[in-house]
Amino acid sequence: MALVELQQVSKDYRMGVVTVTALREITLTIESGEFIAIIGASGSGKSTLLHVIGGLTPPSAGSIRIDGHDYGVLSDAARTDLRRRAIGFVFQRFNLLPTLTARDNIELARSLGGGEPALMNGEANAAGDRYAWHLVERLGLKSRLDHRPAELSGGEQQRVAIARALINRPRIVLADEPTGNLDSVNSDAVLRIFCELNRELGQTVLMITHNPEAAARASRVLHIRDGRLQTA
């Protein structure tokens, strides 16, 4: 079974009396364990596509299935629950809560997903705790967990955002321009992390980017132009 299936998905926005079409009849299948990059210019519809797949905005037409669940027949509550369990989001602007430490930003996502704290007592024995500690260790964050976002570099903040996205072991990670606010050194580090997590943990990744060099790290590259999806 495919992890993500889009059939003839379109998205229109009303701007006053004008209708703007952001997505045009997109059909896409993503299998578990894939690392896909979708590349396109500003305004091409790539972020809208990510938001539609993530259930943040409904399509105007077409159907979307995530992990076997049809968005179109789910209630708002069920769709929110699916999003929390099955999808991890990584955004360009990090979106960390500034008053919380890195640890608490990560734990908040875990609690929203229904999990117990996993980063409280060091190398705990519970399987969930072992996964959490492996994750923050792999991301180089163990010594930074008690720092707030303002005390972290841009690369460290993005790594906290990645840990937050992965802490509940989602089936798919949706990354919207994850290196857009980073310098070349930190961009390379973040892209290596995505590649390693995909390879070592089997994490499914869909990354939106405008950067061909970033897209080249993926195993499959698609192009979007004027709301239409094309193979590379």
Q: Over the stretch 141-200, which tens digit does the pLDDT of each residue have?
A: 889 999 999 999 988 998 899 889 988 888 899 999 888 888 888 888 889 888 988 888
Q: Give residue limits of the domains in the chain.
A: 4-231
Determine the pLDDT at residue 14.
86
Running DSSP on this structure, what letter comes out for residue 143?
G
CATH number belonging to domain 4-231: 3.40.50.300
Cα angle value 98/127/68 (rounded, 5°): 80
pLDDT for the residue 114 = 64
Burial of residue 222 (CB within 10 Å: 0-12, 13-18, 19+) is: buried
Is the pLDDT reported for residue 126 higher than 80? Answer: no
What is the pLDDT, as a whole number, of residue 160? 93
Is 50 exceeded by the pLDDT of residue 125?
A: no
pLDDT tens per residue across span 87-123 = 999 988 888 999 999 999 998 888 776 666 566 555 5
Q: What is the pLDDT of residues 48-93, one digit of tens each?
A: 999 999 999 999 999 999 988 999 898 888 888 888 888 999 988 8
Residue 141 burial (10 A CB sphere; 0-12, 13-18, 19+): buried
Q: Tokens 């896909």 label which residue? A: 36
- The percentage of the chain sitting over the pLDDT mark of 70, rounded to a whole number, equals 91
Question: Is residue 29's pLDDT more than 50?
Answer: yes
C-alpha count within 13 angstroms, C-beta hemisphere, residue 65: 14
Average pLDDT of the chain, as a whole number: 87
